[in-house]
Structure 1
Amino acid sequence: MNECADYESGAEARERVRKLIESPSYQQADEDRAFLLRPEMCGVRLQLDFWKTEEILQRHAIEHTVVVYGSTRLIEPQAAEQRLISAQQALAKAPYDPGHARAADVAKRVLDNSRYYSIAREFGRLVAKCCVTDNVPELAVVTGGGPGIMEGANRGAFESGAPSIGLNISLPHEQLPNPYISPNLCFKLHYFAIRKMHLLERAKAAVFFPGGYGTCDELFEVLTLLQTGKIASLPVVLVGERYWRRAIDFDFLVEEGMIAPSDARLLTFAESAHEIWGAICEWYNLHAPIPDQRDKRQAVAAGEQS
């Protein structure tokens, strides 16, 4: 009888231990997703968001970057042309539908503005091939990692065999990374603040293509940080002067006394990839033509062999 009681007591003990192990309180903190997602753990999540990306960038010796911002909606010319064809076909089937008419008009604008994708792609190539100097060290292209202008810049760097960095962000509607990011330099962050910090952490220049709310938010944040001296001075290049002057009346802000004339000089305009690179070179007092980085390396290697 006692042996049976002892046996039952052992079984009960094992069951209690099983329940203890399965209890949420027993789960190791760094494996407890529910715990990590609690509002009180926001500080920890911010650190994790920052340090994972930072550690990988350090490990791959990414020290200096050119940041490219711009709309996700400015797609490559071929895709834009196909979108216009589809929109026109839909409109032809329902010519009095205002929705189809609006879609066709927007598709025309997207096709016209798809040239910016090509400019971003060419600029990515230029950065990848740039000459290393004391003022402008070897640079890597970094973007927000999404489609549109970001894809164009990453694509240019990728096609040149250079590091191509993408800092994607988690959104309610999933945004996949573009396919032209270096596999070991493709990141997904949760917090916009940490993403913005990483975009500027190593920046030697900030280039803004036409965009909407997100691009404007990033532009004004960069200008505010420069205006207040929170980051070191760097060239800010706005691509497409006509677009930007209509979107934001900088002269009006000066006239109204909202910003100083010197604040308006924190940025410059460009229309082509070479103009963007020229503005960056001018900022760093590089007036000579920039040779191809790969040619320079080959010349150095040839000299060492001889």
Structure 2
Amino acid sequence: MADPKPPKRIFPEAKVDAVAAKHVPSSPQTESAAYKLAFQDTDFLLRDDLRPVRFQLELLKPELLLEEAKIASTFVFYGSARVPEPVKADELLASARTDWDRKVAERLKAKSHLYETARELARIASRQPHAEDGTRHFVVTSGGGPSFMEAANRGACDEGQETIGLNIVLPHEQLPNRFVTPELSFQFHYFALRKMHFLLRARAVAVFPGGFGTFDEMFELLTLIQTGKVRPLPILLYGREFWERVVDFEALAEEGVISRADLDLITWCETAEEGWQTVQRWYEREPK
């Protein structure tokens, strides 16, 4: 007779004990915070001493859920949360009352056409077929907020595809846009871990005009590639007029603080088709 198979585990799963803990009779001892299961004690988890644990949890949760969703690679979109889509840009300009507000509204309107560019690029990326094993590539990923982030998630939604949003807790209200797939909508406490998750699966990055946050994300990526910390990947820079007005890339090379070859880390793009063709050419020539 064959030996009986041993049980898979001899200890109960955490979720079993979590349920059992709810039915413990009340007493001064069981009502004490010390008696709570450590993983159910929010006050304990929020202690300063537990920061390393929170880091690990914030790293693991999106990683495990994205793996379970069979998302093998992503197409990341960076960009401002303040540039409106064209119709709203017109409304903003019409409502401007001061010279400064009018000037800002005009500059925002000048960039608003890129909303549709981001949306179309996301559409194209989302048309890529799934692999035979069900894994998905070039899944559109954004910060989950408004403006260019919304445009990216919206473009994927137009194609009936799932799309990722990596939101973050801010002092002011910051909610995911309505086009993010609910099961792939993540919220972060740590900026550093959020930026890491942007890049863990990235196979291409499109950068649209933005402020401090966009600068931070873009320059961190450029630094990681420049220093050999990550493999090069297509970085598409949209809105050349904006970027050359706010950053003098050529001057950085002329001043000797970056090499001229570092300028080749970015590819200037203006249309969605141009950006996607850049990505295709990149992976056609990449060694297998």
TM-score of the superposition, structure 1-length normalised? 0.80
Instruction: Deviation per CA, 1:245-281: give whole Å up to 9, x if none.
Output: 2221111111111011121111110011111112212
Distance 1:108 1:249 in 2: 22
Instruction: Deviation per CA, 1:39-98: give whole Å up to 9, x if none.
Output: 1111100111111111110111000111000000112111222222222xxx2xxxxxxx
- Bigger drift between 277-286 and 200-209 goes to 277-286
User: What pairs with 1:164-179 in structure 2 (closer than 5 Å)?
Assistant: 164-179=163-178
Query: In the alignment, which residue of structure 1 is the partner of 2:63?
Result: 54
Letter in 2 for 1:84: L
Q: Secondary structure at the match of 2:205?
A: strand
Instruction: Deviation per CA, 1:129-163: give whole Å up to 9, x if none.
Output: 24679xxx732100111111000011001110112
Q: Secondary structure at the match of 1:73?
A: coil
Among 84, 109, 120, the alignment partner of 2:93 is: 84
Query: In the alignment, which residue of structure 2 is the partner of 1:127?
Result: 125
Q: Secondary structure at the match of 1:155?
A: helix
Distance 1:68 1:231 in 2: 18
Q: Secondary structure at the match of 2:27?
A: helix
Note if 1:150 corresponds to 2:149.
yes
Runs in 1 of length 4+ with deviation above 3 angstroms? 130-133
Instruction: Deviation per CA, 1:90-120: give whole Å up to 9, x if none.
Output: x2xxxxxxxx321122122212211111111
Note if 1:68 corresponds to 2:77.
yes
Query: How well do the aligned residues superpose, as a CA RMSD in angstroms?
Result: 1.6
TM-score of the superposition, structure 2-length normalised? 0.85
- Structure 2: segments with no counterpart, 5+ residues: 1-25
Distance 1:80 1:130 in 2: 32
Which of 1 and 2 has greater Rg?
A: 1
More helix by share: 1
Note if 1:117 corresponds to 2:115.
yes
Distance 1:75 1:18 in 2: 57
Query: In the alignment, which residue of structure 2 is the partner of 1:289?
Result: none
Distance 2:110 2:252 in 1: 29
Letter in 1 for 2:217: E
Q: Secondary structure at the match of 1:21?
A: coil
Q: Secondary structure at the match of 2:140?
A: strand
**Does the C-alpha gap of structure 1 residues 22 and 84 become closer, same or farther in structure 2, counting only changes over 3 Å?**
same
Query: In the alignment, which residue of structure 2 is the partner of 1:28?
Result: 37
> Contact (CA 8 Å) 2:77, 2:152: kept in 1 or not?
yes
Query: In the alignment, which residue of structure 2 is the partner of 1:95?
Result: none
Q: Secondary structure at the match of 1:237?
A: strand
Q: Secondary structure at the match of 1:56?
A: helix
Query: In the alignment, which residue of structure 2 is the partner of 1:298?
Result: none
Distance 2:40 2:102 in 1: 50
Query: In the alignment, which residue of structure 1 is the partner of 2:21?
Result: none
> Contact (CA 8 Å) 2:166, 2:194: kept in 1 or not?
yes
Query: In the alignment, which residue of structure 2 is the partner of 1:42?
Result: 51
- Bigger drift between 183-192 and 208-217 goes to 183-192
The Cα of 1:177 is off from its aligned counterpart by: 0.2
User: What pairs with 1:201-220 in structure 2 (closer than 5 Å)?
Assistant: 201-220=200-219
Query: In the alignment, which residue of structure 2 is the partner of 1:159?
Result: 158
Query: In the alignment, which residue of structure 2 is the partner of 1:284?
Result: 283
Query: In the alignment, which residue of structure 1 is the partner of 2:23?
Result: none
> Contact (CA 8 Å) 2:77, 2:142: kept in 1 or not?
yes
- Structure 1: segments with no counterpart, 5+ residues: 1-16, 92-99, 287-306
